Chains A and B, each alone.
Chain A
Amino acid sequence: MKLPDLTELALRNLRESLLRNSLTTVGISVGVASLVAMLSLGIGLQQLASRRLVKSGLFDTVIVSSRREMRGMGREEERNGPIPGESRVLDEPARLEIEHMANVSEAYPDIRFATELRFEDKPHLTMVSALPDSAKSNDAFDGMKGSFFSSDNAPEAILQKSFAEELLGKTPPLGAPEPGVGELAAPLLGKELVMRYAQRAASSTPATGTDTNSVSADDFAGVSYSVVSREQKLKIVGVSDLDPESMRGPTRAKVFLPLKLAESLHVMQATDLREISRASSDQPVYSSISVRVKNPAQIQATEDAIKKMGFTTFSIADASRGLRQFFGVLYAFLGIFGSLALIVASIGIVNTLVMAILERRREIGIMKAIGASDSDVRKLFFAEAGAMGVLGGMLGVVFGWAIGQAINFGTNIYLKRQSLPPEHFWAVPWWLVAFAIGFAVVVSLVSGLYPAGRAARLDPVQALRYE
C-alpha cells in the first residue's frame, strides 16, 4: 500500500475510536512533555551557568605572570620551563604581543596595590585594583548602585559593599543581617575619597606631586628611580553588591579605579624593584596581566601559546571542563527520568493497539479476504502507532514548553520577592523539539511492533468468523 493511502487509513482508524486514541495520544504527550521539561531545564541551567561564568570573567580570563614571580613556589611550569634567569620579562611589548594573538580580545596590566584611602578624614587601609572599560559587562556590577566609570581615566572609584560598610561604620556583627547595597550607596555616591599612594618615578624626573616626601634609590643594576608620596582625589560613583574579584582570594580588591587612570598614577608596586632591574628598556613592566579570550572554548589554546612565550598562566579552564562533565551527567539523569513517563505511555500504545486488534478482528479478516497482505496489515498498525507518536510528540513539545514557561514565570516571581534579578533558565532549542518528536515516534513504533505483528498473523478464516 502506498504511504499516502496508509496514512489516510491510519488517521481514519484513529478517528473511529476518538476518545481512546486521544487519551493514548495525551499519554504520549505527557511523556514527551516530561522529557522536554527535564531536558530544557538542564539546557537552560547550563546556558545560565555559562552566561554567568562568562560574564563573571572566570572562564574567559587567563592571568599571566612572569616565571620569576613563581620562583620557589614549586610550580610545575617552573620546574619544566626555562631557567628563571632566561624567563621573559612581562613588559609592554610582551603585553602587546599577547593582545595581538588571534583569540585574545584584550590584555591589560594587573594593577593592584594596598594603600590608604581617607574618607571624611578617617584613614582606611585597603586593596585597590584597576578595571578596564570591558569590565562593565561583568555581572558583579549588575546589581550595582550608581554607575560604572564615566571614562577610562576619570578620577572615580567603585566600592565593594564590604568597604562601603567599613567607610560608614556599618560592618554588621557576624550572623547579623547585612545592610542593603542601596542603603549603603545613598550616603556615599558622589562623595570624595582621597587616595594616598607611592608613585614611582625616574630619578631624572623631578617630583611634582602634591606631597613632599620623596625617596630616591639606586638599584644594583644602576637604574635610578624615586618614590614619591602622592594623593589622588576620587569620586565615588558606584557601590557593588557582589565581588568582581571573588577568584582572587586574599588579594582581592575592595576599591576599583579606571585602568587608564591607574596606569597614569605610576603607583609603586611590590614587584617593581625586581622587574625594573630586569627591564631591557624603559617600557613599563608588569607583575601580571589579565588576558581575556574571545571564546571560553579557546582558553586552553591561548594558555598554551602564552606558556610557549615563557610566561606562567593561570585559568580555571579545568573547572570549566568539570562543569561540562557535570552537565553531561545531569542531562543523562534528566533524560532518563523524562523518558520514564514516555516508556509508561508506550505501554498505553500497546494496550490501545491490542484492543484495536480485538475490536477490528473482523475488519482485518475482510481486508485479508479482499487482498491485503500481512505486510499491508502490519504497516497499517505501524502507521497508526506512528501517527499517535507524531501527534503526541508535537503536543508534548507544546506542553513541555508551556510547563517550562510556567515554572520560569513562577520562579521569577520568587526571585523578585527575594530582590534578585529575573533569570531565563529554560531553553527549548530546535534540536530538542526534533529529538523529542523523533523519540516519541521511535518509542511508538517500537510499541506498535508487537500489536502490528499480531494483527498481520491473524488467520483470515478465524477473523471472518469473529462477531
Chain B
Amino acid sequence: MTTVPTVSSTAATLAIRSENVCRHYRMGETVIRAVDGISLEVPTGEFVALLGTSGSGKSSMLNLIAGLDRPTSGSVIVEDRDLAKLSREELAKYRLHVVGMVFQSFNLIPSMTLMENVDLPLRFAEVDRGQRESMAREALERVGLRARVNHRPSELSGGEQQRAALARALINRPKLLLADEPTGNLDSHTGTEIMNMLRDFNRELGMTVVMVTHERTLAERYAQRMIFLADGKLVDDRPNDPGFQAEDRP
C-alpha cells in the first residue's frame, strides 16, 4: 500500500490538528469567510460532531480535513500530514488510504453495481481483482448487503445506499471516517441504523469519526464531543457522554 509524506508531530495521539485555519472564497467583490481561523485538536479514536446552522462552515471544515480543499491560510495536520503542503497526487493518495467519506446524498455511482461501487477505491489502490472482490464482499456483508451485491444504487432504498456508501468508505481501512450529514436524506429509523454503524466502527475499529450535522440530538446521542461553528468560527467545543443516551438500539 502506498504511503503519503508525514510531518513530525509532538502529539502522536492526535488524529487531527488545525491551527488558525481559514478558507476564504471570493465572489465578485465579496470575500466569503467559510472557515475563519479555526484551531482544534481531535485525538485518535474520538467521535466528534461538527454542529452549526447552514452556512456556518462545518462542511467546508470537513472538506479541508478530507483533503478535498486547501486552506487559504493556517494548517490542517491529519495523522502527522500537513495537508496544505501535499501535492495534488499526494492529496489523492491521502484520500485513498487515510480517509473514508460518507455524504448526505450517498454519492454512489449510479451506473455501477454495489460491488463495483465498493471496490472502486481498491481499483485506484491497484489491488488485484481476486483480493478486491473478497474485500468488497466482506465490506458489504458487514453492512448487511450481501444479497444486494449485484444491484444498482437506483434499486436500493436510501438506507441501503448509505450502508453501501459506508462499506465503500471502510474498504481501504481508513484511520479517519468523515461523515457529512449522513442521515440527512434518511428517515429517523434508518438514520439511527446508520448512526449505530458509525458508532460501532468507531468503537470496534478504533476509527476517528468526524460527523457534520445540524441535528443536535443526533450529536448528543452518538458523539463524544460536540464542536459548534457559526460564521466560519469555532464558537463552542464541549465533551459529551453519548453512552448515556445511545445504548438503546432501534
Contacts from A to B (Cβ < 8 Å): 1-2, 4-5, 9, 12-13, 16, 362-363, 365-376, 460-461, 464
Instruction: Tell me the complex Cα distance, A4–B93, Å.
Output: 21
B88 touches A464 (CB 8 A): no
A373 touches B88 (CB 8 A): yes
Q: Quick one: which of B93, B107, B125, B129 has the most chain A CB within 10 A?
A: B107
- Partner pick for B89 among A12, A16, A363, A375, CB 8 A cutoff: A375
Residues of A within 8 A of B109 (CB): 363, 366-367
- Partner pick for A369 among B89, B101, B112, B172, CB 8 A cutoff: B101
B96 touches A371 (CB 8 A): yes
Residues of A within 8 A of B92 (CB): 368, 371-374, 376
* Residue B111 is within 8 A (CB to CB) of chain A in the complex: yes
Question: Among the listed stretches B63-71, B135-143, B208-216, which one makes contact with chain A, having 4 or more residues with CB under 8 Å of it?
Answer: B63-71
Given A2-B126, A460-B68, A461-B63; A370-B120 close (CB under 8 Å):
yes
Query: Can you list 8 A-B pairs with a CB-CB distance of less than 8 A?
Result: A4-B129, A9-B123, A362-B107, A370-B120, A370-B124, A376-B124, A461-B69, A464-B68
B63 touches A1 (CB 8 A): no
**Who on chain B is nearest to A365 by CB?**
B107
Residues of B within 8 A of A464 (CB): 68, 103, 107
* Residue B225 is within 8 A (CB to CB) of chain A in the complex: no
Q: B88-119: contact bitstring with A at CB < 8 Å (1 yes, 0 no)?
A: 11001101110001010001110110000000
Contacts from B to A (Cβ < 8 Å): 63, 66, 68-69, 88-89, 92-93, 95-97, 101, 103, 107-109, 111-112, 120-121, 123-126, 129, 168-169, 172
Nearest CB of chain A from residue B181's CB, rounded to whole Å: 13
A367 touches B68 (CB 8 A): no
Instruction: Tell me the complex Cα distance, A366–B124, Å.
Output: 13
- Partner pick for B124 among A1, A4, A461, CB 8 A cutoff: A1
Nearest CB of chain A from residue B62's CB, rounded to whole Å: 10
A368 touches B68 (CB 8 A): yes
Nearest CB of chain B from residue A12's CB, rounded to whole Å: 7
B121 touches A1 (CB 8 A): no
Q: Quick one: which of A13, A373, A464 has the most chain B CB within 10 A?
A: A373
Known: A366-B108, A464-B103. 19 other contacts (CB 8 A): A1-B124, A1-B126, A9-B123, A12-B112, A13-B111, A16-B111, A366-B107, A368-B92, A368-B95, A369-B66, A369-B101, A371-B121, A371-B124, A372-B92, A372-B124, A373-B89, A373-B92, A373-B124, A375-B89
Instruction: Tell me the complex Cα distance, A367–B95, Å.
Output: 10
**Who on chain B is nearest to A370 by CB?**
B121
Residues of B within 8 A of A367 (CB): 109, 120, 124
Residues of B within 8 A of A2 (CB): 123, 126
Residues of A within 8 A of B172 (CB): 371
- Partner pick for A370 among B63, B69, B111, B168, CB 8 A cutoff: B168
**Who on chain B is nearest to A376 by CB?**
B124
Nearest CB of chain A from residue B59's CB, rounded to whole Å: 9
Residues of B within 8 A of A371 (CB): 92-93, 95-97, 121, 124-125, 172
Instruction: Tell me the complex Cα distance, A267–B250, Å.
Output: 122
Instruction: Tell me the complex Cα distance, A348–B3, Å.
Output: 40
Residues of B within 8 A of A5 (CB): 123
Instruction: Tell me the complex Cα distance, A367–B124, Å.
Output: 9
Residues of B within 8 A of A373 (CB): 88-89, 92-93, 96, 124
B101 touches A374 (CB 8 A): no
B101 touches A370 (CB 8 A): yes
A374 touches B89 (CB 8 A): yes
Instruction: Tell me the complex Cα distance, A5–B96, Å.
Output: 17
Nearest CB of chain B from residue A461's CB, rounded to whole Å: 5
Q: Quick one: which of B95, B97, B124, B169 has the most chain A CB within 10 A?
A: B124
**Who on chain B is nearest to A9 by CB?**
B123
B88 touches A374 (CB 8 A): yes
Instruction: Tell me the complex Cα distance, A2–B92, Å.
Output: 16
Residues of A within 8 A of B108 (CB): 366
Nearest CB of chain A from residue B103's CB, rounded to whole Å: 7
A370 touches B89 (CB 8 A): no
Residues of A within 8 A of B124 (CB): 1, 367, 370-373, 376
Given A369-B66, A369-B68; A1-B95 close (CB under 8 Å):
no
A370 touches B123 (CB 8 A): no
Residues of A within 8 A of B120 (CB): 367, 370
Nearest CB of chain B from residue A361's CB, rounded to whole Å: 12
Instruction: Tell me the complex Cα distance, A176–B113, Å.
Output: 80
Instruction: Tell me the complex Cα distance, A373–B144, Å.
Output: 30
Nearest CB of chain A from residue B32's CB, rounded to whole Å: 13
Nearest CB of chain A from residue B164's CB, rounded to whole Å: 12
Residues of B within 8 A of A4 (CB): 129
Nearest CB of chain B from residue A388's CB, rounded to whole Å: 18
Instruction: Tell me the complex Cα distance, A363–B126, Å.
Output: 19
Instruction: Tell me the complex Cα distance, A464–B69, Å.
Output: 12
Nearest CB of chain A from residue B99's CB, rounded to whole Å: 8
Instruction: Tell me the complex Cα distance, A371–B93, Å.
Output: 6
Residues of A within 8 A of B111 (CB): 12-13, 16
Residues of A within 8 A of B96 (CB): 370-373
**Who on chain B is nearest to A371 by CB?**
B96
Nearest CB of chain A from residue B57's CB, rounded to whole Å: 13
- Partner pick for A1 among B93, B103, B123, CB 8 A cutoff: B123
Residues of B within 8 A of A369 (CB): 66, 68, 95, 101, 103, 107
Nearest CB of chain B from residue A466's CB, rounded to whole Å: 11
Residues of B within 8 A of A362 (CB): 107
Instruction: Tell me the complex Cα distance, A156–B111, Å.
Output: 82
Residues of B within 8 A of A363 (CB): 109
Instruction: Tell me the complex Cα distance, A147–B69, Å.
Output: 89
**Who on chain A is nearest to B110 by CB?**
A363
**Who on chain B is nearest to A373 by CB?**
B92
Nearest CB of chain A from residue B107's CB, rounded to whole Å: 5
Instruction: Tell me the complex Cα distance, A16–B101, Å.
Output: 26
